[in-house]
Amino acid sequence: MSFALDLERFAQKVYRKQNAVVRKIVLDVGTSLVFKSPVGDASYWVYPAPPGYVGGRFRANWQYGLEMPTSALADIDTSGAATINKMHSGVAFEAAGKLHFLVNRLAYGPRLERGWSRQAPAGMVGLTVIEFAPIVERAARGI
């Protein structure tokens, strides 16, 4: 074994760990956003829900991308599981050093963030931003 070979192995190990930490951070932030997102419940509404209404569209519209997603989705996801599964399959394994986006393009997102929903009176994004440092610490310690 040579010093150069040992150094190369060490560099590869560090690179793999960097990618794992960044991937975990992105997925934990995405999961936080999805689970903090309210699911429409027409029983609280002043006006009746439109015919055929099913809640969960906002939760389903959290999208991950290395490039900014450009449109809203018609998907419904009341549990959040399908949305999180899409994030898991979409986050790059070579995640370190890249710009990651977690976005929700529905027009009423800003209203929800400002407390429009009884289910999320403090929003979702602001709370997740507050939790960001602990998310990073847990990811780094766990890997």
Q: Does residue 47 form part of some domain?
A: no
DSSP notation for 12-33: HHHHHHHHHHHHHHHHHHHHHH
DSSP conformation class of 44: G
Does residue 7 surpass a pLDDT of 90?
A: no
Q: Does residue 6 form part of some domain?
A: no
pLDDT of res. 78: 94
Q: Does residue 45 form part of some domain?
A: no
Provide the whole-model pTM.
0.87
pLDDT tens profile 89-114: 888 778 888 888 999 999 999 999 99
- 56 phi, psi to nearest 5 deg: 115, 0
Helices 132-142 & 3-36, crossing angle to 10 degrees?
Answer: 140
pLDDT band at 12 (very low <50, low <70, confident <90, very high): confident
Domain count, the chain: 1
Q: Does residue 2 form part of some domain?
A: no
Say how far residue 34 (Cα) sits from the centre of its chain. 6
Q: Does residue 27 form part of some domain?
A: yes
Q: Does residue 1 form part of some domain?
A: no
Question: Which residue type occupies 104?
Answer: N
pLDDT tens profile 28-65: 999 999 999 999 998 888 899 999 999 999 999 999 98
Say how far residue 17 (Cα) sits from the centre of its chain. 21
Does residue 1 surpass a pLDDT of 70?
A: no
Q: How many whole angstroms separate alpha carbon 10 and alpha carbon 121?
A: 47
Range of the domain at 115: 13-40+53-142
Q: Does residue 3 form part of some domain?
A: no
Q: Does residue 8 form part of some domain?
A: no
